[in-house]
Structure 1
Amino acid sequence: MQHQSRMQQTATPGMEVANGMIFFRKLIEPGCAPEETAEDPTTLRGKVAAAKLPEDAQRAAEAEIARMEKTDPSVAEYAIALGYVECLLSLPWSDMAPASFDLHGAARVFDASHAGLGQVRERVLEHLAAHALGASRPFSLLVVDDEPIARANLELVLRREGHHVEVAANGEEALRRFDGQEFDLVVSDLKMDTMDGQQLLEAIRERSPETQCIIVTGFATVDSAVRAMRSGAVHYLTKPIDLDDLRAAVADVLRGRRARYRMRAPLLCFVGPPGVGKTSVGQAIAKAMNRPFVRLSLADLRDEAELRGHRRTYAGAMPGRIMQALRTAGVRNPVFMLDEMDKMGQDARSDPAMALLELLDPEQNDRFLDRYVDLPFDLSEVMFIATANDTSRMRGPLLDRLEVVPFAGYSEDEKADIASRFLLPRQLREHGLVHPRPVVADEALRRIVRDYTDEAGVRGLERELARLCRKLARLHMEGHAPLPAGLDAEQVTALLGPARYNHDRTGGGQHTGRATGLVWSEKGGEVIFVEVSTMGGSGQLILTGSLGDVLKESARIALSHLRSTPDVFGLRAVPFDRLDIHIHIPAGDVAKDGPSAGVTIAAALVSRLAGRPARADVALSGELSLGGSLLPVSGIREKVLAAARGGARTVILPRANAPDVANLRATVQRLPRIELVGSVSDALEIVLAPAAQPATKGGLDA
């Protein structure tokens, strides 16, 4: 106790700060052992020497260690320097996951863990194949020499280094080799008949500027060396050639050529509603490539410093989340998923999207600069994948660096297949229902999909399956009944209770002044209803239902088209200047925007003004032009699947969306009848019934 009291009396403020920072680092740096924080500079210097850091990182670490040797361990600066050196030692500067890729194995990984991916599976496998081909491609060399023995010796030496080598006896033959292929490096003799090495070098520079050249000669002069280097040669060797010098020169040239084989294509961005498998596809990619998987959520990220780190001059500074994730992965080539990219925030001080511009640009990320590390770090080997629910909220320059891969919602058949193959077995294992394992009938799974979920993905479906398993586990543990060998649809309904969703929302029948529409949001396709009411007034248009500016414009366009062509729709007798028209889309607490409701609004307007009931089981989607044409819209798959869930029997879409409909029919078996039309008048002939009363009366009796 006396010793502890003396220690407390002699503790300085600087020591308290240093000890506090060491304790704080123990909390935030996993894997930082307590004894490492007490290492002396000599031990650290040995670790730095053994770590084989890059030259600039080693110099920075040695400079910090030299500063530590001159600093009292009780002051805060000592702890700051210690933390920085430990950070440099923990980063994977040169550690790489071993290259291992089998395209057929990757396909098996996807098929064993995913269903219903469709074109997404093909696009991902194409991306992986391109990565693997670029990484595995050997360097291609061309040896040019008119002496057969010298030519054969050079070919043998370079082939032993693992390169693809071809040979040519003179310059003209060498140029013919460039027809239909490209070489990374040409090793050429200087003195040759018909075309010497200098002329060959100049011809290569014109034909293939990316090809590097090494000149070898037995008649070396200063003038010839100067001319060769000015013409673009990167090395000049004299005969007889020292093989070690040749290997070193070739390795030096090809070291800088490896960047050519990195993927320069836009990075993949998986875009789709929640629960469709975007993150699990990223994990499957990592498994197929035998690389660690790192996920970084960008949801509500507002401060750029969280990505780039804080400068060491600030108290409590630490590396950014990018470097921390790489330190956790332990290699510098993981599969790195940037999740929820569309939900990034922005404040007045900084914009995180600007940091991502450098991070995701293949031309810049080989020298990524974290403010804490303050040294360039090569991220070019990292395979970045982004995810988002909706690209409309992403910054244009950032979106330009990404290749959007759309993830569509699943049909009822696909959901039942996913539940049977993946979700249900996993939930049964997690709840201990494996001895024996209950068998859930296919019709029971469809009942769960249809009556207890309403989503584009399968996240809610898995929750319902987990709820079912919990009820089975409780019944078994309470001793009410042994585990049933099989569950049919009626038993599932008895366990889960009344249906939560009525998917026959359209309800059939006909309604005057109400039309069924289809919209797409970040949650997938949805069925909406557009309601129109009229009343005496001064020609005012009232729009309610939490509508966005684009949707309000669609309503004005629809009304303008009807007023400009009243004879086409039987509206000549409607007194527009003495009517107030109220357009409402229910679910007012949900924001709605987009142009695809234009044709639905036109149908509801004509239904009310002309007194022609609209079929509730016919759903429409299409952008309306001022001339009455239907323009193509996006999200066709999600909208049609939403119509099927909602009980619609017919879907009306623009004729320009025929390719999207063809792709949908190729992947989904059971669909509503789809009508492709080119104008609003054609659409109204399908959705509207004949007028039940005179148009004037229908327009005023609202």
Structure 2
Amino acid sequence: MFFKRNSKPIEEEIEQKSEESPLEKMRQQVKSAKLPGHAYDAAVKELDKLEKSDPSVAEYAIGLNYVELLVSLPWNISTKSHLELGRAKSILDSRHSGLDQVKQRILEFLAAKTLRQSVKANILIVDDEEIARNNMNHVLCKDGFSCECAENGIAALKILGASDIDLIISDLKMEGMDGYELLAEVNRSYPEIPVIMVTGFASVNSAVQAMKSGAAHYLSKPVNLNELRRTVAEVLDQKNLAEMGRGPILCFTGPPGTGKTSVGQAIAEALQFSFIRMSLAGLRDEAELRGHRRTYVGAMPGRIIMELKRAGVNNPVMMLDEIDKIGQDFRGDPASVMLEVLDPEQNVKFTDYYLDIPFNLSNIMFIATANDISRLPGPLRDRMEVIEFSGYTAREKCRIAEKFIIPRQLKGVGLQREGISFEPGAVGRIITEYTRESGLRNLEREIATVCRKMALLHLSDVSRKAAPKTIEADDIPGFLGPRRYVSSVGSRKPAIGITTGLVWTETGGEIINVEAVAMKGTGHLMLTGSLGDILRESAQAALSFIRSRADEYRIDDHLFSEQDIHVHFPAGAISKDGPSAGVTIFVALLSLLTGRPFRSDVAMTGEMTLSGQILAVSGIKEKLLAAQRAGIKVVVIPQQNKEELEVLPADVTAGLEVILIDNGNDAVPHVFTS
């Protein structure tokens, strides 16, 4: 009696425990997660293996975590784009002042990606029943779609070869070529076209077989026309979302502080997509991107899969920040992984080592940023469309400071309601005397320093009568101390053998000096200043050109054999290389050998050949901005850069006399004092 009375509660307790087991819960989650076929099979296979395993072993927890990851990934969850060009333009303008060419290019990029959604799809209906074809054709045409009809798979293939088809609706059982054969041929020859299968012989097995064969959806006959319309809309939306992510990968390149990352955020906001920023600076281990194999307890997926899990959608805007600073060592080459991630032909089936099954990354809109694009491997650079972010002019910096930086910093210290303002002359003085950069980061730091000191004054002065309301140019040294930068024009007088060049670095345009001296010797040329091979070759070519025309320049031939020449680039701790200093070296040597002083208000850039021809160089805008910051009055650049010069804004050339030259001799009348 005792055992009989209590047997039922014991059975219920055992049943309850069985229902609450982690594996049973996980099975229910797998069934309700709507996983794609290959992911569902992997999850079921892993659960079957776990049922035969002891929960106390380490592999049990690894397997359970793996299935949880499969369930939590956004295999089919997407964000629908809502792009309005007017709204996108207002967002870009409200976040950034200047960068007109960059914003124009981004709007073109977004417009090209989203215009496809406004074009009505062309649908191919394949069915051996004329009534069914006509009904589907009538309903879909009323919705604005363009439809073509075929009675079997053979006729459908002819239409596919002649027309641009966006979606196929196909019957399963047909004479000549049935739906399965047509689906296989479409997947082989037209993999970008989704197929919806329709059949009167509906069964679970036929539906599973159709989906495993690559069908986008499955409907049974007689077709519910409202369900058909809804299914067509869903499949086309998924196709449009996939096309949003495909196309050129944007790479924003330019000096630090020019707004590359924030423009990426503005793009995501304009599209109303999720935004993921993933910094790649210093990344050396390939497993950080591709994940670890599930062979030990600490194994983890790669950062790409983990970021998608956190985002909860499979089509975010993903910014790969500082892609030019990826490292490489014995743990692998992460840059090679990026070749697969950024290639639309490969990332459709990206395989994370931990996940061990393909995950489609083609829906993601990738945007990369880099300071120096030349550091990227050639194959990786070829996969991206480069958009250059140039530095800001002094006038643009003043506008940005007035519109964005000062209000933000005043709010940050609690002074936004105190009526404090900066005179334009005060901002201009901070720009010219306390910062020397292409971007805005140091400018923001200095303005933040002024605002913090103002906050201290307000707290110290209870009556708030001594604290100024308007900050003028003369007040700046009291807040920031002595000026840090002095115009290079006033820093030295015209000198023999010392010239000024313009170079481009990853931080923007820079001014460099080239110094040359002669001493008794045997005609040896010495080069110092942490120089690369290209700079050394430029110096050799410049000296050979001068020697070949010694009579023209009235230089005694004995000087070349009786003297050593030493050419030095100051700031020897900084590595220097590149061809654009060729004309600067030539003028420095010519000044030394002819005894003619070089003008201190002139700067030059240009690659020089052995015959004296001046070739085009890059970074003209950055170099002209550097000349402005240094107080240079005359800039000598190659004639071949004329077209680039003509499209520059007037702010860039303001206060500069730009001289174009074809040959090294053309520079001589403009660079010497006599």
Indicate yes or no: 2:429 matched with 1:447.
yes
Output aligned runs, 1:281-292, within 5 Å. Answer: 281-292=263-274
1:320 equivalent among 291, 302, 311: 302
With 206-215 and 506-515 compared, the bigger mean Cα shift is at: 206-215
Match of 1:182 in 2: none
- Residues 1:533 and 2:514 are matched in the alignment: no
**TM-aligned CA distance change 1:623 to 1:459, over 3 Å:** same
Shift of 1:59: 2.5
Q: Is the 8 A contact 2:126 2:171 kept in 1?
A: no
1:492-507 → structure 2 map (5 Å cutoff): 492-505=476-489, 507=491
1:338-387 residue CA offsets vs partner (Å, 9 max, x unmatched): 11111111113411011111100011111111111112111111110001
Give the Å deviation of 1:645. Answer: 0.4
Matches of 2:235 and 2:429, distance apart in 1: 64
Q: Do the aligned partners of residues 400 and 362 (structure 1) sit closer, same or farther apart at CA in structure 2, a change above 3 Å counting? A: same
Q: Kindly tell me: are residues 591 and 474 of structure 1, through their superposed partners in 2, closer, same or farther at Cα, counting changes over 3 Å?
A: same
Q: Secondary structure at the match of 1:619?
A: strand
Partner of 1:269: 251
Q: Of 562, 571, 579, which aligns to 1:587?
A: 571
Structure 2 CA distance for partners of 1:640 and 1:319, relative to 1, 3 Å: same
1:237, 1:59 → 2: CA distance? 24
SS in 2 for 1:664: coil
> In structure 1, how many angstroms separate the alpha carbons of the residues matched to 2:40 and 2:168?
33
Alpha-carbon spacing, 1:574–1:674, altered in 2? closer, same or farther (3 Å): farther
- The answer as to 2:532 corresponding to 1:548 is yes
Aligned: 1:560 with 2:539: no
- CA displacement, residues 294-334 of structure 1 (integer Å, 9 cap, x when unaligned): 11111111111010100111230011111111112121111
Which residue does the alignment assign to 2:614? 630
Cα distance in 2 for partners of 1:65, 1:230 equals 31
Alignment of 1:187-266 (within 5 A): 187-189=149-151, 204=159, 207-208=162-163, 222-223=175-176, 244=223, 261-262=243-244, 264-266=246-248
Map of 1:11 onto structure 2: none
Pairing partner for 1:84 from 46, 61, 66 = 66
Letter in 2 for 1:44: M
1:493 deviation in Å?
2.4
Q: Displacement, 1:284? A: 0.7
Aligned equivalent of 1:661: 645
Q: How many Å separate the matches in 2 of 1:584 and 1:659?
A: 33
Aligned equivalent of 1:404: 386
Q: For residue 165 of structure 1, what is the aligned residue in structure 2?
A: 146
Question: What are the within-5 Å matches in structure 2 for residues 565-644 of structure 1?
Answer: 565-573=549-557, 575-644=559-628
One-letter code aligned to 2:477:
T
Alpha-carbon shift at residue 141 of structure 1 (Å): 3.1
631-640 vs 79-88, greater mean Cα deviation: 79-88
Judged with a 3 Å threshold, the aligned counterparts in structure 2 of structure 1 residues 121 and 538 are, in CA distance, closer, same or farther, namely: same
RMSD: 3.2
Give the deviation of 1:392 after TM superposition.
Answer: 1.6
Output aligned runs, 1:452-463, within 5 Å.
Answer: 452-463=434-445
Q: 1:407 to 1:41 in 2, by over 3 A?
A: same
Cα separation, partners in 2 of 1:222 and 1:45, compared to 1, 3 Å? closer
**Separation of aligned partners in 2, 1:331 and 1:394:** 29
Displacement of 1:159 in angstroms is 3.4
CA offsets, 1:133-183, max 9 Å, x none? 2345432236799x99988644322236x55225xxxxxxxxxxxxxxxxx
Displacement of 1:248 in angstroms is 6.8
1:667-698 CA distance string (max 9 Å, x none): 646241111111110112110133xxxxxxxx
Q: Is the 8 A contact 1:574 1:609 kept in 2?
A: no
Residue identity opposite 2:364 in structure 1 = V
- Seen in structure 2, the aligned counterparts of structure 1 residues 81 and 471 have a Cα distance that, compared at 3 Å, is same
Task: Name the residue aligned to 2:669.
Answer: 685
The offset of 1:238, in angstroms, is: 10
Which residue in the other structure is 1:46 paired with? 28
8 Å CA contact retained: 1:622, 1:631: yes
CA distance in structure 2 between the aligned counterparts of 1:399 and 1:533, rounded to whole angstroms: 42
Task: Name the residue aligned to 1:28.
Answer: none
Structure 1 pair 555–93 and aligned structure 2 pair: CA distance change class (3 A): same
3-state secondary structure, aligned to 1:484: coil
SS at match of 2:468: coil
State, as a whole percentage, how many aligned pairs show the same letter. Answer: 47
**Counterpart-to-counterpart distance in 1, 2:406 and 2:367:** 28
CA contact (8 A) 1:187 1:216 kept: no
Deviation of the 1:42 alpha carbon: 1.8
Q: Which amino acid aligns with 2:581?
A: A
Q: Which amino acid aligns with 2:150?
A: S
Please show how residues 507-526 of structure 1 align to structure 2 within 5 Å: 507=491, 509-526=493-510
2:408 paired with 1:419: no
Aligned to 2:99: 117
Paired letter, 2:424: D
Q: For residue 80 of structure 2, what is the aligned residue in structure 1? A: 98
- Matching residue within 625, 631, 634 for 1:647: 631
CA distance change for structure 1 residues 224 and 500 in 2, over 3 Å: closer, same or farther?
Answer: closer
**Offset, 1:209:** 7.7
CA shift for structure 1 position 575: 2.1
The answer (yes or no) to whether the contact 1:536–1:579 under 8 Å persists in 2 is yes
Q: Normalised by the size of structure 2, how large is the TM-score?
A: 0.85
Structure 1 residue 91, shift from structure 2 partner: 1.6
The 1:669–1:639 alpha-carbon spacing in structure 2 relative to 1, beyond 3 Å, is closer
Q: Give, in whole Å, the separation in 2 of the partners of 1:243 and 1:235.
A: 15
Cα deviations by residue, 1:470-518 (Å, 9 ceiling, x for unpaired): 1111111122744432111112222211111113356464111111100
Gaps of 5+ in 1: 1-37, 167-185, 191-196, 691-702
- Find the aligned partners of 1:451 and 1:231 in 2 and give their Cα distance: 69
* CA shift in 2, pair 1:501/1:255, >3 Å: closer
- Report what 2:14 is aligned to: none
Change (3 A) 1:55 1:613: same
CA distance in 2, matches of 1:661, 1:134: 36
Deviation at 1:255, TM superposition (A): 9.3
Choose from 384, 390, 393 the match for 2:366.
Answer: 384
Q: Separation in 2 of the partners of 1:470 and 1:224?
A: 77
* Superimposed CA distance per residue, residues 117-146 of structure 1 (whole angstroms, 9 cap, x where no aligned partner): 12111111111112212345432236799x
Matched, 1:346 2:308: no
Any stretches of 5+ residues in structure 2 without a counterpart?
Answer: 1-19, 187-194, 201-219
Number of aligned residues: 622
SS of the equivalent of 1:244 reads coil
SS of match in other structure, 1:596:
coil
CA deviation string 1:516-569 (max 9, x = no partner): 100000011000110100011111000011111111111111001111111332
Distance in 1 (CA, whole Å) between partners of 2:26 and 2:73 is 15
Which one-letter code corresponds to 2:562 in the other structure?
A: R
Q: 1:69 to 1:97 in 2, by over 3 A?
A: same
- Residue 433 of structure 1 deviates from its aligned partner by 0.9
Distance across 2 between alignment mates of 1:274 and 1:236: 53
Give, as a single letter, the amino acid of the residue that structure 2 aligns with 1:374: D
The 1:308/1:39 distance shift into structure 2, 3 A limit, reads farther
Which residue of structure 2 lines up, in the alignment, with residue 18 of structure 1? none
